[in-house]
Amino acid sequence: MTDQSIQSHDGIGVSLVDGDPAIRRARQIMLLSERYDVRSYATSAALLADPRSRDFPCIIVDVESAGGSGMETLHAMRASGWRGKAILLDGTAPPPALIHAAERHGDRVLDRSTGDAPLLTAIAASIDHGWSGWNADG
């Protein structure tokens, strides 16, 4: 289940997975201020256990997330029928295999320490390339 759920009712949904509560909360507040609906999770397992997470078209997840890898999380989400896009956060120079896997699904890889503006730009760019008109049912 989520550890914190706040909705702005105006924007597109974003699921945020981060094991660091301070970072998770700061990003959640930032996204809410930009009028996104946000569901935050301390672990990938919590995201996967929440059936409502499939209703949100965007996941922001650390490649080395708590309780499993970000790529494993995305594989599990896609296997459950989720068709959204992801922003993978990585603390190193991402290996070519990770970049290729992300690109294959239209996902993006950003540095873990990326600031708010680049993160918002990545979300907006992904929305412009297929998230508008998101409908989890069809």
Q: What is the CATH number of the domain that holds 103?
A: 3.40.50.2300
What is the value of pTM for the model shown?
0.82
Residue 123: strand pairing partners: none
pLDDT digits (tens, 9 = 90+) for 27-67: 999 999 999 999 999 999 999 999 999 989 899 998 876 55
Does 138 reside within a domain?
Answer: no
Residue 103 confidence (pLDDT) above 70: yes
Full domain range(s) for residue 9: 4-131
Instruction: Please report whether residue 54 resides in a domain.
Output: yes
CB atoms within 10 A of CB 106: 13
31 C-beta neighbours (distance < 10 Å), count: 24
Residue 136 belongs to a domain = no
With left for phi above 0 and alpha for psi between -120 and 50, is residue 46 left, alpha or beta?
alpha
Q: Are 58 and 15 a contacting pair, CB within 8 Å? A: yes
- CA 82 vs. chain centroid, Å, equals 12
Q: Distance of alpha carbon 116 from its chain centroid, rounded?
A: 14
Beginning with the edge strand found earlier in the chain, give each strand of the sheet holding 58-62 in spatial order.
4-6, 37-41, 13-17, 58-62, 85-90, 108-111
Count of structural domains within the chain: 1
Q: Residue 14 domain-assigned?
A: yes
Handedness of CA 73, 39, 67, 21 (dihedral sign): positive
What pLDDT is attached to residue 71?
86
Q: Is the pLDDT score of 131 beyond 50?
A: no
